[in-house]
Structure 1
Amino acid sequence: MSKENELENISLLGNQNVKYSYDYDPGVLETFENRHPELDYFVKFNCPEFTSLCPITGQPDFATIYISYMPGIQMVESKSLKLYLFSFRNHGDFHENCIVTIMKDLIHLMEPKYIEVWGKFTPRGGISIDPYANYGKPGTPYEEMARKRLFQHDLYPEKIDNR
């Protein structure tokens, strides 16, 4: 496939007239073709400026979101991911639901071999919440990988003083 054909579905990258949605919008996500689907490798995004709203109080919640995935045929385009995460800005939901929603939307978008999403939310009321979700494509070795990583994902929890 030529580079021109490969990029025909990407409309946001380099577009100076992009509008930021303040309402949850998975429709903004875009993909491009993985040039190396025969290989297993990780792609990791660190998103340190995630915000959403508490569904009860309406107060803002802040987090760093870590997204790691092993691509299949499609990969998520990073600017569209940024706009998608921004669309949570006025979205009222609990931390856990935000993380699972992000993971499910990315699974639906690109059907990765494996994906994990981890939210490190800053404390409010003296407590921080760090939800983690993962997925391995059913019927593949990645399904077992997901199970093992889920059971071992926080064997060495971070110290409180590094937030």
Structure 2
Amino acid sequence: MNLSLKESLTHLGNQTQYAFEYDKSLLETFDNQHSQRDYFVKFNCPEFTSLCPITGQPDFATIYISYIPDKKMVESKSLKLYLFSFRNHGGFHEDCVNTILNDLVELLQPRYLEVWGKFMPRGGISIDPYANYGIPNTKYAQMAEYRLTHHDLTLEKIDNR
């Protein structure tokens, strides 16, 4: 790893310091070495937790993040620490997913990005918000519209949740 990259990534290779309150400043980037082509990067976080803003009870989810990078990419350890910072954050499921999307779009300025939260049932119901973004007036905006309107068309059963 070149020295300037190592200096810019403060979490990677260092002892982990966890934040217990939501903190988007934990996110770090590095340059996309293959910005000449479209390709997906996907992260799965099966241990996401946040708090219900009304009851304070914990909510558990798997968060799926997929994006087509442009110039910048998110460093995975910083993403892990950022997602962990929601642990004591009081936010409805939909708010958490949209906040993650907004923060990553602001940070990365990706060609395309989507976030899907698959929350564990509480009170007998699960909530699975999905949000996405594509650069306006481009094929990525068209892709975002298509993926949103065709999202999750398969009915869930106990074995495909």
TM-score tier after normalising by the smaller chain length: over 0.9
Q: Which residue of 2 aligns with 1:123?
A: 121
Within a 5 Å distance, the mapping from 1:11-160 to structure 2 comes to 11-16=10-15, 18-160=16-158
Displacement of 1:138 after TM fit? 1.0
- Residue identity matched to 2:8: N
Q: C-alpha distance in 2, partners of 1:13/1:152?
A: 37
**1:114-162: CA deviations, max 9, x gaps?**
0000000000010000000000011211000000000001111321344
Total equivalences in the alignment: 161
Q: For residue 112 of structure 1, what is the amino acid of its counterpart?
A: P
Secondary structure at the counterpart of residue 8 of structure 1:
helix
Q: TM-score scaled to structure 1, two decimals?
A: 0.95
Q: Report the AA paired with residue 9 of structure 2.
A: I
RMSD (CA atoms): 1.3
Q: Report the CA distance shift for 1:80/1:151 in structure 2 as closer, same or farther (over 3 A).
A: same
CA distance in 1, matches of 2:5, 2:71: 12
Q: SS of 1:160's equivalent? A: coil
**Unaligned segments of structure 2, at least 5 residues:** none
2:3 matches 1:4? yes
Cα distance in 2 between the residues matched to 1:75 and 1:44: 11
SS class of match (2:36): coil
Q: Any gaps of 5 or more consecutive residues in structure 1?
A: none
Q: Distance in 2 between matches of 1:141 and 1:158?
A: 30
Mapped to 2, the partners of 1:65 and 1:138 lie a distance apart of 25
Q: 1-side partners of 2:30 and 2:6: how far apart?
A: 6
Compared with structure 1, are the counterparts of its residues 66 and 88 closer, same or farther at alpha carbon in structure 2 (3 Å cutoff)? same
